[in-house]
Every structure is written in structure tokens, then in C-alpha cells.
Structure 1
Amino acid sequence: MSARVAAATTAALLGAGALALPSATAHAADQTSAPTSTRASAQTSASHDRPLVVAHRGASAYAPENTFAAIDKAADMGFRWVENDVQRTKDGELVIMHDDTLKRTTNVEQLFPDRAPWKVADFTAAEIARLDAGSWFAPKYAGQRVPTLKQYMNRVSRNHQSLVFEFKKPELYPGIEKQGLAVLRKTGWLDRHHVKSKLVIQSFSADSVKTVHKLRPDIKTGFLGTPAVADLPAYAKFSDQINSTHTSISREYVAAIHSLKGPHRKRLEIFTWTVNDAAAAQRVAGFGVNGIITNTPDVVRKAIS
């Protein structure tokens, strides 16, 4: 997720229009084999964290964000919840990438020097599959790739992890909600077990969250932003969580969220982000937040233990 607060820009809560089905795109299978360990620790040791600790883009302080290495690192550290970002390529493949440009976290400038500004939407899945998504972080991660959503979901499953799934900048990719749900269904993530306890879908776009809720009202959803307290009842009609940046909330704001019920008639929740130090973790835990999204999950876990 980005470090900005999307509040004022989401007042219009209109439904999305017609949604496109995903196009068929040939792409490589999982780029690396899954570790032999079942990583049972990721399934159990963090399962009772309160607040829940979510590894932001994987354990992204310790491995390149949104790669297999990052979610594997989170699993190795004992964290069962991870967060990711989903965008779409030129030829219709969904991939795991935070920025709408490939420049910051890959070697795209070296491989394609004449393709500035290197937008995700301007490259095919095959071109993105060639990129090194690890060397920018550390030499030992050279060769990490940008996963497709299908590859990523299979890896999260193998790691016995759960997912906070973010549609990133959906206004750039009409129909991405229906397409993303199709991939989740094909990878086994829309059965009752996953929907009930292993999946949250969030976005900075109220329209996108509302679309997901309309398409699959059983899925737990989250709106990224800090709406005014007076506006919270409107969001509670289609969003189970209000997921705000930690610098924008207070004990009173958290209490206002908890005073409402979401679309599933359960108490509205808040996952706050991006909390990377002990003091901030203790502060928001004291507010009673339900989850903490962090690049440094070990630091947060220790702080709130």
C-alpha cells in the first residue's frame, strides 16, 4: 500500500461498470521450487497474535518486497499473515507489484532503456518475467522475479499463510476485481475455509471495495484510508475493515470504528499501517486495533507481546 491517506477522494461510492474477464497469457510456472519445509510455524506460532501482525509485502524489511523471498522470510519468522499488491500487465496478466512503474524494484531500466516511464501496464507478462526483482535490495537476492498472481497464491498456500490482498490503483485497470477473483477461485482461495479465515481484500478505492463486496459478499473487505467519523456508517455497508495509516488514528477513532457493525453484522475492524518500530506498535495496540501491518513483523511482535 502507499504511504498516503486516501480519504477525501473516496466520497463517491458508485458501483463499477462492466468488468472484463482475464485474457489468457502464457507465463512460466513457479520460478523457484517451494522450500521442503511445510513452514508449520507460519500456521501456528502467530495465529494467536492480538493485534494480528501482518507482514507488509512479505517481511519486506528483510527481503525484496512482493517476492517469494519476502513471503518465505515471513513464514520462516513464524508469521502466517502477509500483504501484497496486485496490478495488471499490458497483455492482461495480474502480477504482484506495488508501484505502477517497474523502475524502483526491478532492473527494467537496464533491460529496456527506451521504455520510460516503465509502467507495469506498458509491459507484457513475458517481459516482466525477465526482470530481476531482487538485486536492488541486496546482491544475495539477485534473480528473484515478479510473481504472477497465480504463482503468488500457490506459494502462499504452500507456506500455509493467509493474505491481505490489495487491488493497487484499480482505476488504471478496469475490471481487475472480477479478474482477480477469478484467479483466487482457480487457485482454491474462494472456498468456505479460505474466505472465512484466511483472506481480506482491500483497496484505497471505495468503488473497488464496493465492487468486490457486490461480486462476492461473503469475502471480508477493507477500505484503506481514514474517513471522517460521520462517514464511517456509509463505509460499513460494504467494508468490514477501515485500514488507516497509524499516524492518522487515535483511541477515539478506533472506538468509533468498533462501535459500528460491518456488512457481515460483525464489529467493524481496523488494521493500521505501516508500523515499523516498537513505540508505534505499542501505541496502536493500546488503541485496541485489530491488526498491525508492518515491514518488521518481528519488532512489532516483540513490542506487543
Structure 2
Amino acid sequence: MEQSSVFDVIIIGGSYAGLSAAMALGRSLKKVLVVDSGEPCNKPTPHSHNFLTQDGKTPSEISSIAQQQVSQYKTVHFYTDVVIEGKKTAEGFEISTQSGERFEGKKLIFATGVKDNIPNIPGFSECWGKTVIHCPYCHGYEFKGKKTGVWGHVERAFHLAGLVNNLTDDLTLLPHGEDQLTVDQAKKLQQHNIKIEEGEIHKIEHKNGNITHIVLKNGKKLLFDALYAAIPFEQHCKTPETLGCELTEQGYLKIDGLQRTTVQGIYACGDNTSPMRSVANAVQQGNFAGAVVNKELTEETF
């Protein structure tokens, strides 16, 4: 692709949110470039759930179908690369990629997701997205009635335990960090027959990503089928921040009700803006962002 190609919109991130935005814009004949690295955050996950018409399909299957459908709109172009820099120009923005390409766009949409900071616990990464999971809406039904653990800092783990409680009668909270459960929290866990297991996780024993045991540093072995884990994350792409986009206290890109960031002309959608990390939510946000950007482009010329 030629350097300094000019587009109406450049979408950074070509997974569910990015492709959804591209479809909305392509159907309005806007010239769009989608730049994507091909490494989605949910790559380890074997199946996607809680998305009408796509329930149970693999993430790659959903994104492959989506890309095929978006590719039918000839004003939408694709480029496989990583965006490493962006700057404001008189006409909009210019982005630079890892391979040295530069592209100009009147508007930018960041659909770049987040990067999970996997803890240095043996077996954790191998099970992540399979039996070590983050979301009861995405994975909970598949582990209903199973022996389940919830691991994380107290507040987040307690919140997750409440959501998971109705899915299993065998639930154990493994609080992590220095914070302690309050008297009221401990009482509520006891009322719902949720066990509390103190002690740091040493390793996760598994077979091909399927948990067999969780081994604590005190040597105790716990039998689990699934472990919900509330782990920290960071923005997958730092370019929005270097362009001046603000983050929320939780680390998400700050947006208004129209998917606009705090920098005029830059929009964001998907996991980089919301704690509701699901394919369905990403598609909805992307579709809306595409419609908003199309409207604003139209208003500038009509």
C-alpha cells in the first residue's frame, strides 16, 4: 500500500469492534483503512458465548466470517501491521506502523482492546481462557455445577463470587493481596456456603489447559474444574494516550455517550473502553461508533 494514503477513517484494531465499525462506514461508502496485528486478546479462548446467532463458535471463526463480510464493501481496505505512533495534522491525523508505513485519516477509531497481565504462576497462561476464566457471562454456563474457585483482590473477587454463586453449589473464594475481607463480606459468604481458602497460589496443575489441581504455597492441593481470575490489564495500544486521550481511573479509554474520546476526531470502542468484555458488546459499540463517525463526517461536508 502506498505511503501517505488518505482515508476518511482509519480504524486501528480489526477484531469485532473494529470490523463492526468498518461495516457501518463501508455501507455508507466512506474510504476506510483497518490496521490490525492479527493477535486478538481472546485468541486462547476455545469458544465464544452469549452472542446471538454465534453462540459456541470459535473467536477465529466469528472474526473470519466478519472480515469476509466487511471485505465485500470495496471502500474498506485492510493492512496487517502494528500502529506505533500517531500525530495530529492540519486535515486530521497521521499514523505510523511498525513496518514504516504512514497513513492519513480525517478521523481515527481505536478498537485495540486490552492486554491482560498474566501473573507469573506456572500453569496460569496455559489455562487462561479455557478453565482459568474472567467472565461468568462468557464462560459461566459451561461450568455450571462444577467445583469452582474465584481468585483475585478482595473487592473484585467478592464481586465475582456473587455473580457465580447461582451457577454452582461448590464455590471457594481465594482472596489475593493484602486487603482482608470485611466482617460483612465474610458473613455473606458464609450465608451462601461459599468457602474461603487463605494462601497464595503456587502453581496450577492441568492437562492441556484443563485444571486438575491448584497448589498453594503452603503445600495444600485444591481440586477445581474452573477458576475465575480477576487480573490486571493495560491498554493494548499506547498511541491514544500519546495523542492525548485520557484514561478512566480503571484504565479504560475515557469516552462519552457517542464513543468520542477526550481528543476531538478520535473515537474508541470495544474492550479498551468497557469492563463488559464480550463479543456482543464489542460489535454493538463498533457499529455505533461507525454510525457516529459517518454522521460527523457528513455534517462537515453537507
- Tell me whether the two structures share a fold, i.e. TM-score over 0.5: no
User: Which protein shows a greater Rg?
Assistant: 2
Structure with the higher fraction of residues in strand conformation: 2
Give TM-score scaled by structure 1 length.
Answer: 0.28
Structure with the higher fraction of residues in helix conformation: 1
Give TM-score scaled by structure 2 length.
Answer: 0.28
Between the two structures, name the one with larger relative contact order (CA 8 Å, sep ≥ 6). 2
